[in-house]
Amino acid sequence: MESNYSYVDENLKLIRENVGEAAEKCGRKAEDIRIMAVTKTVAPEIVNHAIELGLDLLGENRVQEYLSKAEAYSPAEVHFIGGLQTNKVKYIIKSVSMIQSVDSLKLGTEIDRLAAKHGRVMDILCEVNIGGEESKGGVAPDKLREFIAQLAQLKNIRIKGLMTIPPPSQSDVFLGRMQELYNDLRDNKIEGADMQVLSMGMTHDYAEAVKYGSTLVRIGTGLFGARDYSRK
């Protein structure tokens, strides 16, 4: 595959540099921050180019689109990161290694049920609506502990941390609040919920997110360029 896609090489190089720099500035190690390629609207051959460059984690938002592309992908780990309807869990339960967007007990219960049926335990993150925005999914911060305590009862899911999409303006304020929530859950542990992953930071705020303790940044536009919604 000779590179028509060399812009991806350059973008990834820049992202790695920025993550490294942001990490260094706050005394963290770049290896502790995982870079996810968010694939929505991006053709599988371009995604595969990113995988060849060493990106080993894909983020999928939409069940239909994922299913239509999954077979064409080179081997990589896949996390589901989009809004997920309970009746769609069955389509992804076998092939993804983590569901980052769990924000209701109903959804958690269905993941647990289907994971058991397939003889596996599913890693999940709880999505937090840190900005209290109506248009977004996620659990309200003041309901989070109770929510996690309920999820922790389910034996076929493993709670690994938190995910958020902060409001685009003042994102540093919200990133800071997420860090506080995450640290509090780590320091005042809920039995059955290990805080290992703090998934936050997108193209416009990933360097900021690293400063606030993110362990996984999810990058679409910054890696693949502006999305073209006319193609799927």
Ligand X SMILES: *Cc1c(COP(=O)(O)O)cnc(C)c1O
Considering the complex, state which of residue 66 and residue 190 has its C-beta at the smaller distance from ligand X.
66
Q: What are the structure tokens assigned to 204, written together?
A: 């416009």
Residue number closest to ligand X, CB atom: 220
Question: To the nearest 10°, the Cα dihedral for 137, 143, 148, 150?
Answer: -110
Nearer CB in complex with ligand X: 131/220: 220
Rounded distance between C-alpha atoms, residue 154 and residue 223, angstroms:
36
89/190 with CB nearer ligand X = 89
Minimum CB–partner distance for residue 83 and ligand X (Å): 9
Closest to ligand X by CB, 12 vs 165, is 165
Detail the DSSP E strand segments found in 91-202: 98-102, 122-128, 157-164, 193-199
Nearest approach in angstroms of CB 137 to ligand X is 9
> What sections of 170-224 are H helices per DSSP?
171-187, 206-211, 221-224
Shortest approach of ligand X to residue 161 CB, angstroms?
Answer: 15
Count of all residues that appear for the chain in the document: 232
Residue placing its CB nearer to ligand X in the complex, 126 or 190: 126
- By CB under 6 A, name the binding residues for ligand X: 38, 40, 61, 81-82, 165, 202-203, 218-222
- To ligand X, the closest distance from the beta carbon of 213 in angstroms equals 17
Q: State the minimum distance, in angstroms, from the CB of residue 199 to ligand X.
A: 8
CA atoms within 13 A on the CB side of 97: 8
